[in-house]
Structure 1
């Protein structure tokens, strides 16, 4: 058994702005600070700056929220919204990459994520990017007389001069969604944020502004980032299985999406961890300003919502869980 070696340094980026995301950013920072002690792992909270694409100031203006982020090791990273802004906020994750330090490996996480264990334990191969495989077949939506999966995806690979055949997972049948490279954009990583971000931006803008004719039936909102992402990952030599399974979206991180979903489906240890890191009074004072945290965590509604579900027998599709929470009056975002 060899001694512990310090993991390769890397930057972690989430997006934070006024409203819901600032409170989710605080939860992320609290969870990272509680689990990950490595000096080589730095947290950046990317913050869009006011400009013509934001009708209101998108920054985190609450000084107590900013102070709490700072106290838990987060560095605020201002970036300009030149292409997306309020009309497509998912574009924040693309444009913010261009503000991260060049040539330094990064991992992006959606803000609605908790870090459950030491991120330094994850054996990232930053030269071979991947993204979250915790996804459903949300895009493309195949129309009866429209192009199929192969025709739709191949048009995109051809657009960017990429080899389509090598992206396929041949364990799945032709025209079944899992045969095609598709991720949830809840996390992704690479060895340089500028190179990754520029290509992500170029591909996303090309698809948005001049979609191939095969995409005629397809909605790009909110899926644009998830359409471009597999193409970017494939172009940099990445793919499905460049990380051991069960770490991200598993033992090390939890992409909970909303607090009602967290309480409905995550293990007891995740719920216990959330309630532990949010318990100190100085943290509670800031977080209780956000209604879902106030009601679900501090007033116990999360535990009531949890009691509606059997974690060993959850509905297969997330929509069914959402519907039940809505029906019973526990849905909050």
Structure 2
């Protein structure tokens, strides 16, 4: 799992609020007309900004307040509340919303998250192209799946919330996470998850050490002094997405390739490349290893976290 730079989220968050706030308020007026729905209407109007762009803790607090408010009116009113909320916060609408209106394609473009933050394996890019349907040219929009970090079935209030919509690959969204609500590390957390753990490799024979075979084990190492609660949350997240096992069973070739390139493109070679072309280490790394080294750019290429950590681990092993 990787984290997303909060600075990158700022613009997308503002556009999300601007694009959906009036839509939500209009839905409130159209969907809630009964006299016993007055407090719900007032609650949503007063909290529309927090509902749309509040952080996860703010959303959970709002949900508790709303449930308490409804129970005070009618102790059996929670089921009715769920139904009312689903009439207002309609996820399917913004998936297929017309192109001149705010929709998930625009959210995806504003976020600019190019690789699934859960697995860092599959692209989540967005683009549009022209299609001809019965001699009429139309725009076709391609964008990733969006995971509801907290299930919209259980938390319909969050169905359109910015911090509850995570662009992901279809494998992580549908095959792994689905409607699970366990306490996982949020990819928009301002504290980079990648600062707390690194991948390492252990070759089980000499040929794997020099990149000729893939008889390799992948390790996950936690930063010394890491807060125990943070560590448990990260461990739970990596285990939930089966990260180590997935990489080990399917992507040892990525590690083998990094080892091969590191043997060819030595530190001396990289220094000469940087001096000759007046480029930075980050630039030379990107050219040679086809990935990003900077923490705030790991979301731009598949396996960027794995490649960076194995690159560093080779350097550590070489200096032992």
Report which of the two structures shows the higher radius of gyration computed on alpha carbons.
2
Same fold? TM cut 0.5: no
> Which is richer in helix?
2
Which TM-score band (shorter chain)? under 0.3
TM-score (norm 1): 0.25
